[in-house]
Structure 1
Amino acid sequence: MRKVSFFLFFISQACTLYGQDNTKNLIQYVDPMIGTARMGHTYPGATAPFGMVQLSPDTDTIPYAVNGKYTGDVYKYCAGYQHEDKTIVGFSHTHFSGTGHSDLGDFLVMPTVGELQLNPGTAKNSETGYRSVFSHENETAEAGYYKVKLDDYNITAELTATTRVGMHRYTFPESDKAHIILDLMYGIYNYDEKTTWAFLRVENDTLVTGYRSTNGWARTRTIYFAMAFSKPFKSYGLKTYEKHPYRGFWGRFDQENNFPEAANEKIRAHFDFDTSEGEQIKIRFALSPVSTEGAIKNMQAEVPGWDFDQVKSQTQATWNKELNRITADAGSDGEMTNFYTAMYHAFLGPTVYMDVDGQYKGLDQNIHQADGFINYTSFSLWDTYRALHPLFNILQPARNQDMIRSMMAHYDQSVHKMLPIWSHHANENWCMIGYHSVPVIADAVIKGNADFDVERALEACIQTANTRYFDGIGAYIDKGYVPEDISSASVSKTLEYAYDDWCIAQMAGRLGKEDIYNEFIKRSASYKNVYDARSGFMRPKLSNGEWKKEFDPLDTHGQGFIEGNSWNYSLYVPHDPATMIDMMGGKQKFTQHLDSLFSMELPDKYFEHTEDISRDGIIGNYVHGNEPSHHVVYLYNWTDAPWKAQDKIRMILKTMYKPAANGLGGNDDFGQMSAWYLFSALGFYPVAPGSNEYMLGSPVVKSATIHLKNGKTFTVEAKDQSDKNVFVKRVTLNGKLLDRRYVTHEDIVNGGTLTFYMSSRPDKR
Structure 2
Amino acid sequence: MRRCFLIPLLILPPLLRAQQPVQYVRPIIGTQKMGHTYPGATVPFGMVQLSPDTDTIPYEMNGKYNPDVYKYCAGYQYTDKTIVGFSHTHFSGTGHSDLGDFLLMPTTGPLQLNPGTADKPENGYRSRFSHENETAEAAYYKVKLDDHNILAELTATNRVGFHQYTFPQQSEAHVILDLMAGIYNYGSKNVWTFVRVENDTLITGYRQTSGWARTRTLYFAMTFSKPIKKYGHQNYDTSVYKGFYRKFDQAVNFPEMAGRRIRAWFDFDTRAGEKLQVKFALSPVSTAGALKNLAAEAPGWDFDAVKKQGQEAWNKELSKVQVKALSNDDLVNFYTALYHTYLSPTTYMDVDGSYRGLDQLTHQAAGFTNYTTFSLWDTYRALHPLFNVLQPKRNADMVRSMLEHYNQSVHKMLPVWSHHANENWCMIGYHSVSVIADAIVKGNIQGYDAMQALEACAATARYKKYDGLEYYMEQGYVPEDKNSYAVSKTLEYAYDDWAIAQAAQKLGRTDLYNEFIKRSLNYRNVFDAATGFMRPRLANGTFRKEFDVLSTHGQGFIEGNAWNYSLYVPQYPAEMIAMMGGKKQFTRHLDSLFTMHLPDAFFAETEDITRDGIIGNYVHGNEPAHHVAYLYNWTDAPWKTQERVRMILQKMYKPTSDGLGGNDDCGQMSAWYLFSTLGFYPVAPGSTAYALGSPAIRTATLQLENGNTFTVEAVNQGVENVYVKKVELNGKPLQQRFISHSDIMNGGKLVFYMDRKAVK
TM-score normalised by length of structure 2: 0.96
| Runs of 4+, deviation exceeding 6 Å | 6-9
Shift of 1:710: 1.0
Q: Distance in 2 between matches of 1:317 and 1:338?
A: 20
Matched, 1:621 2:632: no
- SS of aligned partner of 1:705: strand
5+ residue gaps in structure 1?
Answer: 1-5, 14-21
Cα contact 1:70–1:191 (8 A) shared by 2: no
Give the counterpart letter for 1:715 in structure 2: T
Give the counterpart letter for 1:304 in structure 2: P
- SS of aligned partner of 1:663: coil
Matched, 1:290 2:285: yes
- SS of aligned partner of 1:222: strand
- SS of aligned partner of 1:198: strand
**Deviates most, 603-612 or 31-40:** 603-612
Determine the structure 1 residue equivalent to 2:496: 500
Matched, 1:555 2:551: yes
Matched, 1:158 2:162: no
Cα contact 2:468–2:478 (8 A) shared by 1: yes
For residues 449-481 of structure 1, what are the alpha-carbon distances to aligned partners after superposition, in whole Å with 9 as ceiling and x for unaligned? 112201100110000000001010011011000
Q: Distance in 1 between matches of 2:187 and 2:200?
A: 35
For residues 631-658 of structure 1, what are the alpha-carbon distances to aligned partners after superposition, in whole Å with 9 as ceiling and x for unaligned? 0000000000000111110000000000
Cα contact 1:30–1:142 (8 A) shared by 2: yes
Identity %: 69
Give the counterpart letter for 1:334 in structure 2: D
For residues 707-742 of structure 1, what are the alpha-carbon distances to aligned partners after superposition, in whole Å with 9 as ceiling and x for unaligned? 011111000000011110000000000110000101
Q: Distance in 1 between matches of 2:721 and 2:492?
A: 36
Determine the structure 2 residue equivalent to 1:266: 261
TM-score normalised by length of structure 1: 0.96
Shift of 1:83: 0.2
Determine the structure 2 residue equivalent to 1:592: 588
- SS of aligned partner of 2:585: helix
Cα contact 2:233–2:250 (8 A) shared by 1: yes
Relative distance call for 1:442 and 1:611 in structure 2 (3 A) is closer
Q: Distance in 1 between matches of 2:189 and 2:98?
A: 10
For residues 401-442 of structure 1, what are the alpha-carbon distances to aligned partners after superposition, in whole Å with 9 as ceiling and x for unaligned? 000000000000000000000000000000000000001000
- SS of aligned partner of 1:342: helix
1:137 corresponds, among 121, 124, 132, to 132
Cα contact 1:244–1:264 (8 A) shared by 2: no
Q: Distance in 2 between matches of 1:174 and 1:400?
A: 50
- SS of aligned partner of 2:555: coil
Q: Distance in 2 between matches of 1:97 and 1:280?
A: 30
Shift of 1:191: 6.3
Matched, 1:110 2:118: no
Relative distance call for 1:749 and 1:289 in structure 2 (3 A) is same
Relative distance call for 1:204 and 1:192 in structure 2 (3 A) is closer
Matched, 1:689 2:685: yes
2:452 corresponds, among 450, 456, 460, to 456
Relative distance call for 1:705 and 1:195 in structure 2 (3 A) is same
Determine the structure 2 residue equivalent to 1:760: 756
Q: Distance in 1 between matches of 2:232 and 2:109?
A: 16
Determine the structure 2 residue equivalent to 1:86: 81
Give the counterpart letter for 1:643 in structure 2: W
- SS of aligned partner of 2:340: helix
- SS of aligned partner of 2:428: coil
Cα contact 1:117–1:130 (8 A) shared by 2: yes
1:715 corresponds, among 711, 730, 733, to 711
Q: Distance in 2 between matches of 1:64 and 1:193?
A: 9
Cα contact 1:11–1:317 (8 A) shared by 2: no
- SS of aligned partner of 2:233: strand
Determine the structure 2 residue equivalent to 1:405: 400
Cα contact 1:637–1:741 (8 A) shared by 2: yes
Determine the structure 2 residue equivalent to 1:420: 415
Determine the structure 1 residue equivalent to 2:638: 642
Determine the structure 2 residue equivalent to 1:512: 508
Determine the structure 1 residue equivalent to 2:747: 751
Cα contact 1:382–1:432 (8 A) shared by 2: yes
Cα contact 1:39–1:616 (8 A) shared by 2: no
Give the counterpart letter for 2:85 in structure 1: G
Shift of 1:245: 6.7
Matched, 1:473 2:469: yes
Give the counterpart letter for 2:142 in structure 1: K
Cα contact 1:223–1:289 (8 A) shared by 2: yes
Cα contact 2:348–2:370 (8 A) shared by 1: yes
Q: Distance in 2 between matches of 1:491 and 1:679?
A: 28
In angstroms, what is the RMSD of aligned CA positions?
Answer: 1.8
Q: Following superposition of structure 1 onto structure 2, how do residues 28-47 of structure 1 map, counting pairs within 5 Å? A: 28-47=23-42
Matched, 1:280 2:267: no
Determine the structure 2 residue equivalent to 1:353: 348
Determine the structure 2 residue equivalent to 1:310: 305
For residues 257-287 of structure 1, what are the alpha-carbon distances to aligned partners after superposition, in whole Å with 9 as ceiling and x for unaligned? 0000111000001100111100000000000
Q: Following superposition of structure 1 onto structure 2, how do residues 210-359 of structure 1 map, counting pairs within 5 Å? A: 210-244=205-239, 256-359=251-354
Determine the structure 2 residue equivalent to 1:379: 374
- SS of aligned partner of 1:256: strand
Paired residues, number: 747
For residues 218-239 of structure 1, what are the alpha-carbon distances to aligned partners after superposition, in whole Å with 9 as ceiling and x for unaligned? 0110100000000111001111
Shift of 1:66: 2.3
Determine the structure 1 residue equivalent to 2:5: none
- SS of aligned partner of 1:54: coil
1:742 corresponds, among 720, 738, 760, to 738
Shift of 1:617: 1.8
Give the counterpart letter for 1:45 in structure 2: G
Relative distance call for 1:130 and 1:528 in structure 2 (3 A) is same
Q: Distance in 1 between matches of 2:79 and 2:367?
A: 45
Determine the structure 2 residue equivalent to 1:3: none
Cα contact 2:56–2:186 (8 A) shared by 1: no
Cα contact 1:192–1:216 (8 A) shared by 2: no
